[in-house]
Amino acid sequence: MGRTVSDVPRRASESAFRTVGDEGGLVVLPGRAEVKVLNPVGSRVYALIDGKRTLGEIVGTIEQEFDVTIDQATADVEEFLSILESEGLVDPATEPAA
């Protein structure tokens, strides 16, 4: 997918998200009666997907908080976003409003 650092990903509107301590988080899709369990890194990325932060901002936060290289953070976040999109947990990323 052709993402750019200025893309702004958003959680799926029908999803509900809750962190579970330091253990990770849960994403609930009531319309499909599904619950997805996220590990701590996935939970942090999903928390950052708020429809306001750009992909570049999310990657930068992951790089700093998890002490990984920018290349590793970029690859991991982009791969995770692809999985989230295929599972219907995020809407396709959009360009930020001007």
In a domain, 43, yes or no: yes
Percent pLDDT > 90 in the chain is 71
Number of domains the chain is built from: 1
In a domain, 96, yes or no: no
Please tell me the predicted confidence (pLDDT) of residue 22. Answer: 85
pLDDT digits (tens, 9 = 90+) for 33-72: 999 999 999 999 999 999 999 999 999 999 999 999 999 9
Please tell me the predicted confidence (pLDDT) of residue 11. Answer: 93
In a domain, 24, yes or no: yes
Please tell me the predicted confidence (pLDDT) of residue 39. Answer: 95
Please tell me the predicted confidence (pLDDT) of residue 6. Answer: 87
In a domain, 97, yes or no: no
**pTM of this prediction?**
0.87
Range of the domain at 81: 8-88
In a domain, 79, yes or no: yes
Beta-bridged to residue 20, according to DSSP, are 24
Distance of alpha carbon 41 from alpha carbon 93, whole angstroms: 20
CATH number for position 46: 3.90.930
Distance of alpha carbon 59 from alpha carbon 74, whole angstroms: 6
